[in-house]
Amino acid sequence: MKKLVECVPNFSEGRNKLIIDQITSEIDNTEGVKLLDVEPGKATNRTVVTFVGTPDEVVEAAFKAVKKAKELIDMSKHKGEHPRMGATDVCPLVPVSNISMEETVEYAYKLAELIGSELNIPVYCYENTARNPERKNLADIRSGEYEGLAAKLKDLRWKPDYGPAEFNARSGATVVGARDFLVAYNINLNTTSTRRANAIAFDVREKGRVKREGHPLTGKIVKDKKGNPVYIPGTLKAVKGIGWYIEEYGIAQISMNLTNISITSIHEAFDEVCKKADARGVRVTGSEIVGLVPLKAMLDAGKYFLRKQKRSLGVPEAELIKIAVKSMGLDEIKPFNPKEKIIEYMLEDDDSKKLADMSLQQFADETASESPAPGGGSVAAYVGSLGVSLGTMVANLSSHKRGWDEHWEKYSKWAEKGQAIKDELLKLVDEDTNAFNKIFSAFGMPKGNDKEKKIRQKAINDATKYAIEVPFKVMEKAFESMKVMKAMVEIGNPSSVSDAGVGAVCARTAVIGAFLNVKINAQSFENKKFVNDIIKKGEKLEKKALEKEKEIIEMVENKIKEL
């Protein structure tokens, strides 16, 4: 499994496309990384870039981009709404998969050292790479911004972690770190007042607002024993925020960094800002995600807003995303394209053709063609997905049935279970064909000498084992789905009881069909103990499926007689 790291550099140029393109091409042309998103902002005069890849290659791409930004961006001429202190203002690394935060920190140090020593740019380390508490918070490091950097560098307390403690008028300074996944999130307001936007931001951000004696705006600032201002915390943890006016849009926004979406999610931030804005006579009109967002964050948001409506959460992934987009107005300013905004979708291989993405006609035509795949295993998985889809449909219909509103959550849970099984079976449609292709490829390996023969035989054995395991997994998931159908016959909408019955028949067909593939693929497998064990398990599953189908069909027949 590859180690993957995300990098989200922010460059202080959002208006000159030629400069932006030259910087991002340094990333795009680096082997081992994929450029996911380029988000320029005219008002902020800043571009947020997102790319992902293996750690060493990410460090290489980031260094090349910072180097190009040093050549092309002159900070002495820079103006923009967003706080900044350098041509490459901030360059965080984020662990994505198969890599710990501790490992990511070491790669961040490597990048910081390269920028400091090779490019002679002062570098500060923040978040998980901070070497003292004063440098953990990006806002504290960036305090005074570019204009105050020359004076800051003369202060020994602000000696850079890497690079020279000298003011670089052209490039400024860069902040490098390792952090958790951060979502840059802006909420749109029906006002042009920066003051009102800031007031709402102070209400919600974790840091809150300065405490004052007497009048909340003009009263004397309360300070602690060390002379530092005392703050009244806001209502949202792990949230940073300010208010600003965006001339490009003609509105004020609350600009937030959600630094840990497991603590404060996007939808929680949106709803809280709605409450605080309403209390101040301001209305939220929509919002925007800057850069990329994890799929889970969007699915959680969709479920959150459906739950508020007391609607079933067991709907397809695309529907959950649509609900999230519409509920938070993510398409108010510009279209929200999930393929371009959700990180998991961006990482998908566009060249890979999935059977599950075909139309019914295309799938049937491909199955009927002279190609040996898709075969019985893929068809069994697809039949199983159709069966549990019917059970899920009954759960959703029952959840929305007039007069059954108080029971919506019970049906929603069954629908969610059905959707999860359906998604698994659809993946197995393609996985069964992939397993066949692995065997085909293994048999095509060279066998000119003993070493090649040994490697080839191992590849054949591994591929054959996988080709047995995949249809057995289909059997397990299809049988599991029969619980959904049985429950919907028992407690679901009586008008749809026949649909649940058809779903049970499909599930039984999937179990028997997949077992045929288990048996035929097991014929040539060398490990007979493994074969005997899985055949015994398969026989038990097949028997249970036949019994369960019979039970469900009898229940369906009795329900129909009662109608």
Q: What is the CA radius of gyration of the chain?
A: 29
Whole-Å CA distances, 480 to 384, 387, 451, 484, 512: 10, 11, 44, 8, 14
Find tokens 């080839």 and name the residue.
Answer: 456
| Rounded Cα gap, residues 197 and 190, in angstroms | 10
The token pair that represents 387 in the structure block: 């069966």
Look-up: residue for tokens 């395991």?
469
DSSP class per residue in 288-334: EEES-B-HHHHHHHHHHHHHHTT--S-S-HHHHHHHHHHHHTTTSSS
432 part of the active site: yes
Tokens 């996911």, located at residue? 36
Upstream peptide bond of 372 is cis (omega within 30 degrees of 0): no
**Residue 528 corresponds to which tokens in the numbers above?**
């007979």
Q: In what order do the strands lie in the sheet with 183-189?
A: 239-246, 251-258, 183-189, 284-290
- Give the active site residue among 89, 300, 432, 499: 432
DSSP characters over 183-237? EEEEEEES---HHHHHHHHHHHSSS-EE-EESSTTTSEEPB-TTSPBPEE--S-T
User: How far is it, in rounded angstroms, from Cα 99 to Cα 494?
Assistant: 50
User: Catalytic: which of 82, 267, 300, 499?
Assistant: 82
Q: What is the C-alpha separation between 185 and 287, in angstroms, rounded?
A: 7
271 in active site: no
Q: Which tokens go with 167?
A: 């003011």
Contact predicate 518/538, CB 8 Å: yes
Q: Which residues are catalytic?
A: 82, 432
